Amino acid sequence: EAGVAQSPRYKIIEKRQSVAFWCNPISGHATLYWYQQILGQGPKLLIQFQNNGVVDDSQLPKDRFSAERLKGVDSTLKIQPAKLEDSAVYLCASSHPTRYTGELFFGEGSRLTVL
Amino acid sequence: DAKTTQPNSMESNEEEPVHLPCNHSTISGTDYIHWYRQLPSQGPEYVIHGLTSNVNNRMASLAIAEDRKSSTLILHRATLRDAAVYYCILRDYGESNYQLIWGAGTKLIIKP
């Protein structure tokens, strides 16, 4: 079974530039998450999708971050314009929507450095 | 959301058992206890979860206190590949979006 795919693995940009990250979840997983992980901290949820609808985006900085999940499969997270504090690893995860399933499957992440 | 408390780091010798503690004194009746681990430069991976009874799988065992205010992840025979950050998380299945709230975790160092 293929895992969660993310790209690019690494990205370096100047502040005020824009960047986009792509995620393809495990086939059949209706729930998709984007997390931000700053060095030395645990992941912080940015947005959660159920199919192509948003379940929770309460911690997404909507003035600069946007995310979409067209057709309920793969997803894109965009940052525009980037700030220095956006330097982090952006993790995508997916899960089966069954209520009592415990497991989230994560991709390897996209490491962003903002200079 | 109920929170968890874990030691910042722990050391263990290779091929010995490891007991990783987690305190969750404000746990509610609908909170499941989840453990994930994150190897260097990788995304987190699921380890185990439980509600009230002790749980075993191929990776680890989860021992849950009778009052559910603490739990322990047990790696029966640690290898160098088990060196990672281990996260103890509560997941409330009473909430419709049952998101995970991650702390800083415990960094496990395995000495050869």
- Chain A within 8 Å of B24 (Cβ-Cβ)? no
A interface residues, B as partner, C-beta within 8 Å:
4, 33, 40-45, 48, 55-56, 91, 93, 99-100, 102-109
For residue B96, the model assigns a pLDDT of 56
pLDDT at B1 over 60: no
Query: Is residue B99's pLDDT more than 90?
Result: no
3-class SS at A86? helix
pLDDT surpasses 80 at B98: no
Q: Are residues A44 and B102, on separate chains, in Cβ contact within 8 Å?
A: yes
Q: What is the mean pLDDT of residues B27-41?
A: 91
Q: Is A99's pLDDT higher than 60?
A: no
Strands A10-13 and A110-114: parallel
Q: Which residue has the higher pLDDT, A102 or A83?
A: A83
Q: CB neighbours (10 Å) of residue B111?
A: 11
How distant is the Cα of A69 from the closest Cα of chain B, in angstroms?
Answer: 17
B100–chain A Cβ distance below 8 A for any pair: yes
Q: Which tops the pLDDT comparison, A28 or A81? A: A81
Quick one: pLDDT band at residue B94, thresholds 50, 70, 90? Answer: low
Per-residue pLDDT band for A78 (boundaries 50, 70, 90) equals very high
Rounded-to-integer distance, Cα B64 and Cα B70, Å: 6
Residue A100 has a pLDDT of 54
Q: What percent of chain A has pLDDT over 70?
A: 94
- Does the pLDDT value for residue A8 go beyond 90? yes
How much of chain B exceeds pLDDT 70, in percent?
92
Question: What is each CA distance from B29 to B2, B26, B35, B56, B69, in whole angstroms?
Answer: 11, 10, 18, 21, 11
Tell me the three-class secondary structure of A4-26, residue by residue: CEEECCEEEECCCCCEEEEEECC
Residue B46: strand, helix, or coil: strand
Lowest model confidence (mean pLDDT) among A51-60, A92-101, B35-44, B94-103: B94-103
Looking at residues B36-43, what average pLDDT do you find?
Answer: 95
| Average pLDDT of span A22-51 | 93
Beta carbons of B46 and A103 less than 8 Å apart? yes
Question: What local confidence, expressed as pLDDT, does residue A87 receive?
Answer: 98
